[in-house]
Amino acid sequence: MLVADFYTQNNDKILFSREQSSRFAKEIANDYNPLHDANAKMFCVPGDLLFSVALNHFGLSQHMCFTFSGMVSDNAVIFPKTDDKKIDISDDSGKCYLTIERDGEMTADTDLIHNLATGYVAFSGKTFPHILVPLMSEQGVMINPARPLVIYQSMEIHLDHLELHNPTLEPAGSAIEVQGKKGIVRLDFHFVENGEVVGRGAKRMSLRGLQPFESASVDRLIKEYNGYKQRYQQQATS
């Protein structure tokens, strides 16, 4: 994954075009969320792309938390040059989209950053339907098939040390907390290298417009999702 292919930079301003963002979501993150379609009315840049660019820009710290407070569209955002432990990614008007908190040792090792970001993005892209559908079924709820809203809320990583080379990510449990028509999904994972757990992390997503679970509706949603994915992949290779 060459993350520089998916944005344009002018000094401290970074612009993600709809086409770049959509291509990253589908071809790198295996994420076919309708919010990342180039023509989507409610378009937003994938959170995993923001995460990958942030690691490239600020380096990797032992402890990092990424909290999304807004959806970046096709507007420029500012990635400042700073050594601060808390960083806000905002636009020219001061609207904040992402807050990064970091602590512990830091490294700018490009190979480690590339390997960790690539591994995380691959893990993150397996959310739907593999993880999300069983969780919803257990709780008897589902997202609205006509307007499926799954929004990246936050992500955190905690590494025991930075003497790493190519850590892999392994699932470590998942859960959903239902709050009326909203839900919070938490996906836990471990970083593993040479058979040893060397770190931990969690991803949280917000679900909107929940309604009672219907197997037939979910089956149709999965079929539509997989069909769209297959058509896109066929067009990309033709």
Strands 86-90 and 96-107 come out as antiparallel
What is the predicted pLDDT for the residue at 135? 95
Per-chain mean pLDDT for the chain: 93
Secondary structure letter of residue 85 according to DSSP:
S
User: What pTM did the predictor assign?
Assistant: 0.92
pLDDT band at residue 140 under the 50/70/90 scheme: very high
Domains of the chain by residue range: 3-237
Predicted confidence band at 1 (pLDDT cuts at 50, 70, 90)? low
Least confident window among 90-99, 158-167, 220-229: 220-229
CATH number for the domain whose boundaries are 3-237: 3.10.129
